[in-house]
A and B are shown apart, each in its own frame.
Chain A
């Protein structure tokens, strides 16, 4: 009897599943056709379309879209700021920006791309942990007709770079000049008289941190700074506490701990607390990327210098704008090609400067650009927008009220 009930249940399920599948097939076909049409038009007739769109910029009607980003909302202020800005972008361009779950491992990135493509997104922005995942991402996005871009990273491997940049669905990347960032912080420490430092960084192979360390290495060589300890790949704040305690115990003459890069929430504060608990006021902290509690950290007197782009989520924001333009049939790059842009970075070294910055950028509702300014980032509104003009707009960006 039970077997019969089970058989009936399974049968019902299969039938229901089939109907559910049938229900969507029409839509799916339509969607596929749409995408295929868009892809063909976008790649083959970009020039023509752009000209036409330019002529009709005033009454441009945005296609609905969805773009997934592999950064789940973390509660950090910078992510709340990102959401406020995404909301404005969504309302102006008829789209949806999804903060999706993903871990930033090679497997995690590929699962993210596959699952979001299956969910039917029209665009993706990824943050690859290594170049090797990019050929697969390129292939998956080409097959699905999904536009995609890279945030916070550049491509190091020349062979992979050529392969990715040849794809009509790749819109480009946004990244920081990481080597300069590492060098700038190293120089600041040298000028401040630091001679022995320890570094906290990501696991080797993380292109961002590796490049920052190249810049740091140059500054160290120039200014005679010695790196006496290093700790990598912290997953939680307690890892940072343990590393800091080890650095302090092993190096009585340590001058500073330098955060080359950390993806761990509360790491800066954990480090500062460990230094305070050890009574080592002579040891300072220097960071790339502004800590969430930067003002409080400066007030402790332990945080001495922080260097970062204007806002952590400004880079993904610009990357998303590139994808939106491509989806709407008006790619920013000339002739529909990808664009590569660097983000401006600057340093903060005092409580006052931190307060001034956080008074504005500490507000979760802070908008990078207001409604009118944002329109200049849409090629259908601003026909002069291209890689160079976009770079100029990024370079001239300042955190202001």
Chain B
């Protein structure tokens, strides 16, 4: 009985910790920077970087819910951005938007097919895809930087950013918390075998999720091009690490299952975004920023990691 109580307390703290982490960071940096953290320019900067982190983390969380993983999201974004740039130059900037999304969707679909049909571990399959895309982006860009028409940057407007952020949050929440898809995703994460025995086609759900994540990468590829006006071989290079970091900071279990909550993705993405902005405002050196991020990451993972769902290694 006493044991059960302790466990409950621990779980509660795990749930509260991401909230506390975000609150602490907001409070700390708003005081230390004299309120600059919430200035218009600071919020704009946070939002611009936050789009990548938030949308990417939402995708990563959808996969995490079913115990899946996609290491190729960064380079999927890079390839989508490169294709987007090619189409923007060759056809029109408006045609480049569906081109980017379609590229992301196709890559996501290939990932899904490999994982579900060949039964290769998602980690290995998507890592392989990552290498392919890394080479692919070099081939598409001829190893160089490709510049989009200057009008491309006129698409990167505040309403678009708000639409993407709000749309991402609403769709992500509804998908994961309010639909059959979300419930089955978590069930797959908890026990794929049980789901299979109930007659649900788990592979179909996995495939759909990889395609959704691919689509998100395609959108991010377009966003990157509209923001910077160029596609480079380094586009999307930091996406994977940031999303993984945000997912774990939000207390989302990588093993999946019913403890996966959408709020975790949101809290983790916000925490990372404000942490980076806050440290920059504080003029903390690059080396110390890395150090701080690493320490916070370890503490967060130590507290939030869902050990309950870890499978016993035989």
Are B286 and A100 in contact (CB-based, < 8 A)?
A: yes
Q: Which residues does chain A contribute within 8 Å of B19, judged by CB atoms?
A: 6, 9-10
Chain A residues closer than 8 Å to B276, beta-carbon distance? 115
Q: Which residues of A contact B143 (CB under 8 A)?
A: 203-204, 232-233
Is the CB–CB distance between A118 and B48 below 8 Å?
Answer: no
Quick check: A23 and B27 within 8 Å, CB to CB? Answer: no
Choose, from B39-47, B250-258, B298-306, the stretch at the interface: B39-47
Query: How far apart sit A389 and B310, CA to CA, in the bound complex (Å)?
Result: 70
A-B pair count, CB < 8 Å, reads 159
Chain B residues with CB under 8 Å of A233's CB are: 143, 233
Cα distance, A203 to B233, chains bound together (Å)? 8
Interface residue total, chain B, C-beta cutoff 8 A: 52
Chain B positions 128-179 with a Cβ under 8 Å from a chain A Cβ: 141-148, 150, 153
Q: Are the CB atoms of A159 and B150 closer together than 8 Å?
A: yes
State whether the Cβ of B61 lies closer than 8 Å to any Cβ in chain A.
Answer: no
Cβ-defined contact, B48 with A110, below 8 A: yes
Instruction: Establish whether residues A118 and B27, one from each chain, have CB atoms under 8 Å apart when the complex forms.
Output: no
Min Cβ gap A42→B in Å is: 20
Q: Which of B114-122, B190-198, B207-215, B223-231 contacts A (4 or more CB under 8 A)?
A: B223-231
Asked whether B232 lies within 8 Å of A110 as measured between CB atoms, the reply is: no
Residues of A within 8 A of B234 (CB): 103, 105, 203
Q: How far is the CB of A100 from chain B (nearest CB, A)?
A: 7
A144 within 8 A of B: yes
Quick check: is A2 within 8 A (CB to CB) of the other chain? yes
Q: Once the chains are docked, how many angstroms separate the CA of A119 from the CA of B284?
A: 11
Q: Contact: B39 with A28, CB < 8 Å? A: yes
Residues of A within 8 A of B200 (CB): none
Beyond A20-B31, A144-B41, whether A13 also contacts B23 by CB under 8 A is yes
> A131 on the interface (CB 8 Å rule)?
yes
Tell me the complex Cα distance, A115–B286, Å: 13
For B230, list chain A residues within 8 Å (CB): 106, 129-130, 132-133, 205
Across the A-B interface, give the 3 residue pairs with the lowest CB-CB distance, nearest first: A205-B145, A204-B144, A101-B286
List 24 A-B residue pairs with CB atoms under 8 Å apart, sorted by A's residue number.
A17-B37, A17-B38, A20-B30, A27-B34, A28-B36, A101-B280, A105-B232, A106-B230, A115-B277, A115-B280, A118-B36, A118-B42, A118-B45, A119-B42, A129-B145, A130-B147, A130-B232, A135-B150, A136-B228, A203-B145, A203-B234, A204-B143, A205-B146, A205-B232
Residues of B with Cβ closer than 8 Å to A? 12, 16, 19-20, 23, 26-27, 30-31, 33-39, 41-42, 44-45, 48-49, 141-148, 150, 153, 224, 227-230, 232-235, 237-238, 276-277, 280-281, 283, 285-287, 289
